[in-house]
């Protein structure tokens, strides 16, 4: 609980919107409380003055001849304790001439006008009017007056009690609307990565945020220049190295017949090293192209099923030689909004990795599926899998989970760069069905939603794959 409270306090401290909403809420609440207290006190004072005026008016009316209207045996109201008591007597007389409550002996020495006195153990508010030959007193219990004052004052608090939650809600709404542009900018910043370095929109940005947005855009520009310089350096270096490596490969081929038998093994190692270097240079060139900014001309509908057919066709001889069963569980014919060349590189890298890590006699399954607006291609193998602590690093450049297997460590980096460039994703996870191996998946945004992606469409793609590869059994459990 203490940890949760600490996290909550930390979030509150770091949230400008929450701080502003709380500050405005406290300010509005304090103003409402102050207004309520002042209204309460003013209403009580006004009600007290009104009750005093009522006592005075009754006394004046008694003096003007209404005293005879008081019956000898006065009737009591439904709430006698709340009644006004009227007493008329001769000065100094013990028995009043007229009284609504003869048992109540009001003090005859009370000061003229308004006064407060204790009578029979109760506090009374008394108005005394001394006229020629008569003493008129009108009194009311102070407890009744206070009750009436409270009731009247409390009625003035209802508008405040009703309006306060509404005003607080309006404050929260105004703060949220005011920060909506900031939230939009935050979402824009979250979508920025190395493959999508676009400046933040400045239209409609509040003037207070404009310097911040301008600074971010300048930083994005510098970062884009730095990434482009790095990409050009890698591409230029790869181009410069490819020519001498090609010449070195040709020279090694020419020297092959002249190598004495005792040096053939060492010469083979030399040629393997040259081959690995050439493969690394080729991967660096692909990585540079994958990191290149996306241009509108490269976005075109691409049939991924054709690419899967070709990718399997390319590795089928290797799979057949090693006894690897390569097949597909599901195929669809949706098109994606991506360059066919880039999609082909991504799919071929996944299939090549599966061939490289799957032991002889293993199985490789391909699957295509649509999920929302994305098309996924999954490649599942029966290799050794990857240690869970290494999974977050599999897309790092030059990282290899198994150093005993030959590779450059750039294939998955190229895959992720390609998918991110088109707004897709690349994922690697261990199998969850209890078998060893991994599931490598890439996604690309759909160019259109095709209704014929199952049934006939799937069978057509399977048939094309079987024809292209010469396979006799492509879908597991189904002859083609």
Q: Same domain for 442 and 348?
A: yes
**Residue 223 falls inside a structural domain:** yes
> 449 and 342: one domain?
yes
Shared domain for 81 and 125, answered yes or no, is: yes
Question: How many CB atoms are closer than 10 A to CB 273?
Answer: 12
Task: Tell me which of 337 and 298 has the higher pLDDT.
Answer: 337
Q: How deeply is 294 buried, as exposed, middle or buried, from its count of CB atoms within 10 A (0-12, 13-18, 19+)?
A: middle
* 364 and 267 together in one domain: no
Q: How many domains does the chain have?
A: 3
pLDDT of residue 16: 78
What are the residues whose beta carbons fall under 8 Å from the beta carbon of 397, sequence distance 6 or more?
A: 287, 409, 410, 413
Residue 453: per-residue pLDDT: 37
Considering the domain architecture, whether residues 136 and 253 belong to the same structural domain is answered as no
What's residue 264's pLDDT? Answer: 74
For the chain, percent of residues with pLDDT exceeding 70:
78
Judged against a pLDDT cut of 60, whether residue 106 lies above it is answered with yes
Q: End of a domain among 229, 256, 290?
A: 290
Same domain, 425 and 337: yes
What whole-number distance in Å separates Cα of residue 365 and Cα of residue 378? Answer: 8
Note the pLDDT tens digit of each residue in 147-165.
888 888 888 888 888 888 8
CA dist 47 and 125 (Å) reads 14
For residue 258, pLDDT over 80 is answered with no
Write down the pLDDT at residue 430: 92
What number is the average pLDDT over the span 12-33? 82
| 200: in domain | no
More confident residue, 14 or 18: 18
Q: Is residue 15, in this structure, part of any structural domain at all?
A: no
Residue 132 burial (CB count, 10 A): 5
Domain that holds residue 254: 210-290
Tell me what the mean pLDDT of segment 94-108 comes to. Answer: 80
For residue 389, the surrounding DSSP H or E stretch is none
Q: In this predicted model, what pLDDT tens digit does every residue of 326-347 receive, in sequence order?
A: 887 777 878 898 888 888 888 9
Which of 290, 308, 325 lies at the terminal end of a domain, its last residue?
A: 290
Backbone dihedral region for residue 283 (phi beyond 0: left; psi -120 to 50: alpha; all else: beta)? alpha
pLDDT of residue 340: 84
Q: How confident is the model at residue 377 (pLDDT cuts 50, 70, 90)?
A: very high
**Mean of the pLDDT values across residues 402-426?**
79
With H, G, I as helix, E, B as strand and everything else as coil, classify residue 332. Answer: coil
The CATH number of residue 232's host domain is 1.10.287.130
pLDDT of residue 176: 84
């Amino acid at each position: 609980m203490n940890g949760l409270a600490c996290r909550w306090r930390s979030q509150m401290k770091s949230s400008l919107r929450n701080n502003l909403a709380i500050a405005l809420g406290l300010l509005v609440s304090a103003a409402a409380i102050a207004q309520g207290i002042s209204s309460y006190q003013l209403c009580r004072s006004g009600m007290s003055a009104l009750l005093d005026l009522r006592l005075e008016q009754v006394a004046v009316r008694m003096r003007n001849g209404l005293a005879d209207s008081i019956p000898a045996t006065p009737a009591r109201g439904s709430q006698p304790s709340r009644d006004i008591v009227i007493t008329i007597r001769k000065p100094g007389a013990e028995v009043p001439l007229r009284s609504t409550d003869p048992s109540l002996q009001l003090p005859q020495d009370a000061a003229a006008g308004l006064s407060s006195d204790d009578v029979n153990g109760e506090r009374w508010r008394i108005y005394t009017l001394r006229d020629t030959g008569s003493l008129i007193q009108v009194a009311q219990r102070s407890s009744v007056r206070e009750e009436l004052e409270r009731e009247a004052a409390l009625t003035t608090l209802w508008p405040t009690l009703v309006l306060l939650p509404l005003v607080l809600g309006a404050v929260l709404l105004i703060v949220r609307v005011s920060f909506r542009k900031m939230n939009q900018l935050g979402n824009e910043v979250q979508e920025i990565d190395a493959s999508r370095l676009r400046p933040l929109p400045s239209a409609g940005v509040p003037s207070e945020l404009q310097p911040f947005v301008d600074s971010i855009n300048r930083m994005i520009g510098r970062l884009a220049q730095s990434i482009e310089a790095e990409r050009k350096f890698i591409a230029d270096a790869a181009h410069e190295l490819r020519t001498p490596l090609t010449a070195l490969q040709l020279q090694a081929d020419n020297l092959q017949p002249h190598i004495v038998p005792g040096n053939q093994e060492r010469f083979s190692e030399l040629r393997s090293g040259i081959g690995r270097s050439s493969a690394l240079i080729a991967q660096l060139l692909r990585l540079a192209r994958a990191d290149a900014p996306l241009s509108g001309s490269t976005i075109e509908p691409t049939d991924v099923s054709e690419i899967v057919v070709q990718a399997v066709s390319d590795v089928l001889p290797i799979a057949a030689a090693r006894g690897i069963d390569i097949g597909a569980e599901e195929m669809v014919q949706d098109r994606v909004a991506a360059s066919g060349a880039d999609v082909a590189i991504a799919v071929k890298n996944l299939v090549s990795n599966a061939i490289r890590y799957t032991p002889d006699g293993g199985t490789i399954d391909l699957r295509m599926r649509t999920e929302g607006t994305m098309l996924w291609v999954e490649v599942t193998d029966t290799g050794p899998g990857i240690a869970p602590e290494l999974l977050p690093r599999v897309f790092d450049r030059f990282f290899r989970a198994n150093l005993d297997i030959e590779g450059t460590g750039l294939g998955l980096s190229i895959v992720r760069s390609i998918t991110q460039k088109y707004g897709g994703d690349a994922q690697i996870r261990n199998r969850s069905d209890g078998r060893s191996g991994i599931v490598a998946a890439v996604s690309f945004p759909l160019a259109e939603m095709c209704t014929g992606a199952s049934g006939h469409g799937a069978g057509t793609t399977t048939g094309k794959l079987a024809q292209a590869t010469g396979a006799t059994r492509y879908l597991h459990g189904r002859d083609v």
